[in-house]
Chains A and B, each alone.
Chain A
């Protein structure tokens, strides 16, 4: 009887400490994620301005329907999708090549790894101003290009080149991250497999296609989804490069930049929240895709 009450007391004490340990997290997410998420969902059905809260009123699906005819938002979605479709495969390809290079037996591997990774610890704002400087009309890049006979642009001011310039910048600054993940994947492949294949007379290329690629499959998927999710949230570079405008002529307008401008420059916060939920939906679908692919990999 006494033993029973002691174990019960111990159980209650343990539960209390469990809740105490969770408390900071629960308070934090209630105030800053779940609460705001519900609030954002509600005002996405309202005409809501922070400047004049008393005039806010229900508008049903008007904000969401409005998005369908919003040229800027459609442009932002298109830009973000194009950005994503170019950046993701190119950066993963470069990352894989670099991972293979630094995984080989060349000298100075540590130096190369460090060199490739440094851009990923660099602030997006710093990277943006450095690239604005390198890619300006009479900057270093154009000077080098003119030496090989190519006439350069004022890259970031040109409607056709502004978005591709941001893509180059984004690829440059995040390749190192994916390289390291590929490298970890490569190093998990048992060396015996390569040795056995070599004994069987497989050449380098055959070994890569028949052993490396299939075994690296889940790392590729992982990087693919992480990279997709990341690219859909592009904001910093577009903001710095265009001075917050998304210009020239919406060429660098991205979804998050559009949310930012609509919510905090035009103070049209209900509408901005509707945009935010469209973005949320896209990212949710991408994440669920990741979970699905990983579940298959795990069993």
Chain B
């Protein structure tokens, strides 16, 4: 490779890394600055402090929001892992009348954007008394057509022999699913776990629609409301943004390989 071309490659790589990482670095620095220095572009290392994190945690319900986000993301993610793989398994491996019809429904629903049903879903949830509760934030989101589609494709790709042997031994479909199929499905389940969890943790539209008091806010909704009132205090706003961002960056760094594999096999995040 010619030297000029190599220089060009490195320049692009480094400049774009600065573009993606720069904003995070600047936000972290700002989140550590005392309020008197937030408008200054220089960094006074001696004055950096975790005070802003302390402040937003002790004076504002950031920990509560963090907890709410965690509860909702965990419940929705595990609901999806279980229900999507059950439905995906039925569509891939179990014979029953109407299976093709249900599969077509799955494919069709992948085309329906959630925003179309915002109004009726809100009305339904408020009739049930579920607005501003954990029920409302989790129950409507426990299955996903796209997740079912992915699980079905995965189950079709694994060999049948073990399941057939288990059937001859008289195991029920449910036990085959739990004891044989799920343990084989770790890669597909990991991919779903990652995308469901990050997607839910970052979700903003539905939680902002379905929560009305600040003790039920999830972290994105809480941060937005905090920003709306205290936008002059950029150091605290940035501390909140980092609190919201850091867990997902950690998950990404831990599951980096599966992330990349997941996107390249599914084509979607």
A residues lining the B interface (CB < 8 Å): 11, 13-15, 17-22, 24-26, 28-29, 31-37, 39-40, 43, 50, 94, 97-98, 101-102, 104-106, 108, 111-126, 129-134, 138, 140, 143, 172, 176-177, 180-181, 183-184, 204, 222, 226, 229, 233, 235-236, 239-240, 243, 256, 259-260, 263-264, 269, 272-273, 276-277, 279-280, 283-284, 287
Are A24 and B205 in touch, CB under 8 angstroms? no
Is B269 positioned at the interface, with any CB of A under 8 Å from its CB?
Answer: yes
Which A-chain residue is minimally distant from B122 (CB atoms)?
Answer: A264
A-B residue pairs in contact (CB < 8 Å), sample of 5: A13-B173, A124-B220, A130-B27, A183-B264, A235-B115
Size bracket, chain B contacts: 35 or more
Which A-chain residue is minimally distant from B176 (CB atoms)?
Answer: A17
Are A114 and B256 in touch, CB under 8 angstroms? yes
The count of A-to-B residue pairs whose CB atoms sit within 8 angstroms is 268
Are B111 and A21 in touch, CB under 8 angstroms? no
Is B156 positioned at the interface, with any CB of A under 8 Å from its CB?
Answer: no
Are B263 and A37 in touch, CB under 8 angstroms? no
Complex interface: stretch among B17-25, B50-58, B184-192: B17-25
Are A115 and B172 in touch, CB under 8 angstroms? no
Smallest Cβ distance from A234 to chain B, in angstroms? 11
Which of A29, A120, A138, A222 is the one whose CB lies under 8 Å from B143? A29
By DSSP majority rule, is chain A's interface helix, strand, loop, or mixed?
helix
Which of B39, B116, B205 is the one whose CB lies under 8 Å from A236? B205
Are A279 and B115 in touch, CB under 8 angstroms? yes
Are A280 and B118 in touch, CB under 8 angstroms? no
Is B94 positioned at the interface, with any CB of A under 8 Å from its CB?
Answer: yes
Q: Which residues of A contact B9 (CB under 8 A)?
A: 101, 104, 106
Are A280 and B116 in touch, CB under 8 angstroms? yes
Which B-chain residue is minimally distant from A28 (CB atoms)?
Answer: B143
Q: Please indicate which of the listed interface residues A13, A124, A226 has the most CB atoms of chain B within 10 Å of its own CB.
A: A124
Contacts of B254-269 to chain A: CB distance below 8 A: 256, 259-260, 263-265, 267-269
Instruction: Write out, one digit per residue, whether chain B residues 147-179 have a CB within 8 A of any chain A CB (1) or not (0).
Output: 010000000000000000000000011100100
Is B238 positioned at the interface, with any CB of A under 8 Å from its CB?
Answer: yes
Q: Which residues of A contact B220 (CB under 8 A)?
A: 123-126
Is B180 positioned at the interface, with any CB of A under 8 Å from its CB?
Answer: no
Are B204 and A123 in touch, CB under 8 angstroms? yes
Known: A125-B220, A229-B113. 4 other contacts (CB 8 A): A104-B1, A129-B224, A129-B240, A233-B115
Is B78 positioned at the interface, with any CB of A under 8 Å from its CB?
Answer: no
Is B70 positioned at the interface, with any CB of A under 8 Å from its CB?
Answer: no
Which of A24, A40, A104 is the one whose CB lies under 8 Å from B117? A40
Which of A33, A101, A122, A131 is the one whose CB lies under 8 Å from B12? A101
Is B193 positioned at the interface, with any CB of A under 8 Å from its CB?
Answer: no
Q: How far is the CA of A242 from the CA of B18 in the complex (A)?
A: 27
Closest 3 CB pairs of A and B: A184-B264, A18-B96, A36-B120
Which A-chain residue is minimally distant from B82 (CB atoms)?
Answer: A24
Smallest Cβ distance from B92 to chain A, in angstroms? 10
Q: Which residues of B contact A43 (CB under 8 A)?
A: 119-120
Smallest Cβ distance from B254 to chain A, in angstroms? 11
Instruction: Write out, one digit per residue, whether chain B residues 102-146 have a CB within 8 A of any chain A CB (1) or not (0).
Output: 100110011111011111111110100000000000001111010
Q: Please indicate which of the listed interface residues B89, B241, B268 has the most CB atoms of chain A within 10 Å of its own CB.
A: B241
Instruction: Write out, one digit per residue, whether chain B residues 68-102 have a CB within 8 A of any chain A CB (1) or not (0).
Output: 00000000000000111011011100111101001
Smallest Cβ distance from B110 to chain A, in angstroms? 8
Q: Which residues of A contact B140 (CB under 8 A)?
A: 28, 31-32
Are B83 and A25 in touch, CB under 8 angstroms? yes
Which of A17, A28, A172 is the one whose CB lies under 8 Å from B174? A17
Which B-chain residue is minimally distant from A283 (CB atoms)?
Answer: B113
Q: How far is the CA of A240 from the CA of B267 in the complex (A)?
A: 28
Q: How far is the CA of A143 from the CA of B40 in the complex (A)?
A: 11
